[in-house]
């Protein structure tokens, strides 16, 4: 009598909810596999009292950190006062600055170019994130405009007594070899050489230094470049100029 092996079982892959894998569930038949999965879920579940005790412990830990932040104090580098750490900003240089002092130096920066942008003890400016909640949108708009103004080299302002507006670099163009600015508020044309009202292609009449320089240029035989209007002196060669 020939021996035969155990009959083959048609096992369907069972997705085990605990292990997260699809397999013939440790070689168990489907009814047994479901019982096994349920048993695993029961035996690995934490006791009810243990699970309830975890949340209070985490909350107590977070509460301690909040209390430490609230009651710990730092010294403001400007007013030298002790302020709660939660009401001060820690700067990149390591110093701390209270909110009232932050407000003061940012308000000062829009009136004094020497304080724009606000800094502490290094060349790094104070990040705007530290004052984002201290000012309204109107002040932020003014500050951004003043930052652009004070960051511009060789600033030009409208010479009109009733205006005095800062002229943005985008409103400066070259005309007849000279730079001309136009006030964005009153539309006055300004000479970028003497910062006075536009007087045409001739020399600046109200600038004594320019007048003296042109007089010396006439004595020395210097000539103006007809493109950039700079004074040039012939060293050798012909009178033809290239650029």
State pLDDT tens for residues 165-191. Answer: 999 999 999 887 789 999 999 999 999
Q: How far apart are CA 171 and CA 199, in angstroms?
A: 18
The pLDDT of residue 80 is: 95
With cut-offs at 50, 70 and 90, classify the pLDDT of residue 58: very low
The pLDDT of residue 154 is: 86
Q: Averaged over 98-111, what is the pLDDT?
A: 95
Q: How far apart are CA 72 and CA 84, in angstroms?
A: 6
Percent of the chain with pLDDT over 70: 62
- The dihedral built from the CA positions of residue 14, 17, 18 and 21, taken in this order, carries a sign that is positive
Q: Which residues of 89-117 are buried (b: 16+ CB within 10 A; e: fewer)?
A: bebeeebbbbbebbeebbeebbeeeeebb
SS3 (DSSP) at 152: coil
SS3 (DSSP) at 134: coil
With cut-offs at 50, 70 and 90, classify the pLDDT of residue 203: confident
Beta strands in the chain (DSSP E): 14-16, 21-23, 73-75, 82-84, 88-90, 96-98, 156-157, 166-167, 172-175, 178-182, 189-191, 223-224, 231-232
SS3 (DSSP) at 223: strand
The pLDDT of residue 54 is: 42
Q: Taking the model in full, what pTM does it have? A: 0.55
**What tokens does 167 get?**
């002229």
The pLDDT of residue 109 is: 95
């Amino acid at each position: 009598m020939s021996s035969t092996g155990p009959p083959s079982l048609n096992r369907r892959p069972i997705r085990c909810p605990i292990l997260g894998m699809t397999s013939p569930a440790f070689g168990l038949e489907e009814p047994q596999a479901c019982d096994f999965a349920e048993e695993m879920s029961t035996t690995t579940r934490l006791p009810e009292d243990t699970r309830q005790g975890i949340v209070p412990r985490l909350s107590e830990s977070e509460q301690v950190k909040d209390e430490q932040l609230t009651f710990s104090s730092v010294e403001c580098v400007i007013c030298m006062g002790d302020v709660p750490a939660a009401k001060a900003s820690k700067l990149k240089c390591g110093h701390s600055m209270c909110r009232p002092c932050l407000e003061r130096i940012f308000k000062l920066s829009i009136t004094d170019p020497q304080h724009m942008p606000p800094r502490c003890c290094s060349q790094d400016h104070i990040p705007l994130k530290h004052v984002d909640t201290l000012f309204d949108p109107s002040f932020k708009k003014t500050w951004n405009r003043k930052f652009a103004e004070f960051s511009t080299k060789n600033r030009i302002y409208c010479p009109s007594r009733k205006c005095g507006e800062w002229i943005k670099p985008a409103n400066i163009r070259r005309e007849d070899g000279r730079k001309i600015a136009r006030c964005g508020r009153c539309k006055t044309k300004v000479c970028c050489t003497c910062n006075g009202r536009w007087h045409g292609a001739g020399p600046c009449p109200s600038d004594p230094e320019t007048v003296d320089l042109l007089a010396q240029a006439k004595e020395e035989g210097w000539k103006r470049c007809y493109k950039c209007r700079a004074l040039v002196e012939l060293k050798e060669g012909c009178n033809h100029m290239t650029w």
